Amino acid sequence: MDYHLTLNWPDFIERYWQKRPVVLKRGIANFIDPITPDELAGLAMESEVDSRLVSHLDGKWQVSHGPFESYDHLGESNWSLLVQAVNNWHEPTAALMRPFRALPDWRIDDLMISFSVPGGGVGPHLDQYDVFIIQGTGRRRWRVGEKVPMKQHCPHPDLLQVDPFEAIIDEEMEPGDILYIPPGFPHEGYSLENSLNYSVGFRAPSCREMISGFADYVLQRELGSLRYTDPDVPNRDHPADILPSELDRLRGMMLSMINQPEHFNQWFGEFITQSRHELDIAPPEPPYQPDEIYDALKQGDKLVRLGGLRVLRIDGEVYVNGEKIDSPHRPALEALASHIVLNESLFGDALEDPPFLAMLAALVNSGYWFFED
């Protein structure tokens, strides 16, 4: 299924992106759900899949985490099933992510899908990332408030809820409608009838995550062994004082590591291509030989990227799921990063090079790409 957004991207970015929430009526015309509630419930029974059940009964919020064995105990109102990274596990839903590639791939995170019965929702809450919420089957009412500081109260520790707010958007959404919400705008949605919602979330790494990730990179490669020196150690009035010039030198030592583009770029490529959720990796058995990959592509077969696999490019270097791919065949590497479905023509003469073909076979045998049925 191909999904198309009726959206003027330059206008949207200028007026709304990270600025204001907006409802895009019929953002996807003639919307068809790529998944059924039963299929979603089945995914939430798998141990590898991140899922939650949220209910609101007698004024109390309850949250339970999957995998779930049964749903027989649930009533007909006031609960929601939420499943993260469904695009990693259910190929048809991955198509919902593709219209959003007008924004950078590295910023797109995952597709969370919720099924809610009447009254179901997670209460008023804040997100620290951008999200597009696509209405599927059913109707749901959404309220969005004015931007507030990132402060939550916790009626339940698993729900980043906020106090009630005055709405600047109060809209009943129908299939194909899209609600865009930037970070920091409180919002709440609750179902008016059995409904499916698709949330395309965006990745916004924090400074804490990046410092921690870069420190791991430095340690793994045994970098940063340069030690502090002070051949012209300055005099001071008190031996206990650490002078501003010394702090500047210490800070400079740390910044000198980050300011080396070859290390920073490689670290960020590895860091940002790691999925935050498990992937549905199924290596082929038996593994493909390089000549079998060659023959299949030459016969017109197509390679499809695994749902949720992050493939990104920095200065012509391509990174896949936390690893840099080494090859001199830049156009072929660009094809790996740019296209979800690959055919022979996109690889050009790289297929005639045995080292490239061996590298491609290794990617396929890792379960990152698979041949289209």
Asked if residue 282 is part of any domain, the answer here is no
Q: What is the CATH number of the domain that holds 261?
A: 3.40.366.30
| Chain segment 51-72, per-residue pLDDT in tens | 999 998 888 889 999 999 999 9
Structural domain that includes position 223: 208-272
State which of 143, 170, 202 marks the end of a domain.
202
Closest by CA to 55, choosing from 114, 138, 119, 126, is 119
134 and 220 in a single domain? The answer is no
183 and 262 in a single domain? The answer is no
175 and 225 in a single domain? The answer is no
Tell me the mean pLDDT in the region 78-96. Answer: 96
308 and 265 in a single domain? The answer is no
| Contact between residue 199 and residue 135 where contact means Cβ atoms under 8 Å apart | no
106 and 180 in a single domain? The answer is yes
Closest by CA to 288, choosing from 211, 214, 209, 365, is 365
| Contact between residue 55 and residue 25 where contact means Cβ atoms under 8 Å apart | no
- Cα separation of 316 and 308, whole Å? 22
188 and 97 in a single domain? The answer is yes
129 and 39 in a single domain? The answer is yes
| Chain segment 167-219, per-residue pLDDT in tens | 999 999 999 999 999 999 999 999 999 999 999 999 999 999 999 999 999 99
Predicted TM-score (pTM) of this structure: 0.91
Closest by CA to 270, choosing from 340, 226, 218, is 218
Total number of domains constituting the chain: 3
pLDDT confidence of residue 57:
85
124 and 77 in a single domain? The answer is yes
pLDDT of 284 > 80? The answer is yes
| Chain segment 228-282, per-residue pLDDT in tens | 999 999 999 999 999 999 999 999 999 999 999 999 999 999 999 999 999 999 9
Q: Pull the structure tokens for residue 19.
A: 């600025």
Asked if residue 69 is part of any domain, the answer here is yes
pLDDT confidence of residue 159:
65
Q: Pull the structure tokens for residue 73.
A: 């105990």
| pLDDT interval class at 152 (50, 70, 90) | low
State which of 147, 182, 202 marks the end of a domain.
202
131 and 162 in a single domain? The answer is yes
Asked if residue 37 is part of any domain, the answer here is yes
**Residue 10: phi, psi to the nearest 5?**
-55, -40
State which of 156, 179, 202 marks the end of a domain.
202
| Chain segment 127-143, per-residue pLDDT in tens | 889 999 999 999 999 99
- Cα separation of 318 and 269, whole Å? 8
174 and 26 in a single domain? The answer is yes
51 and 189 in a single domain? The answer is yes
Strand partners, 140: 173, 191
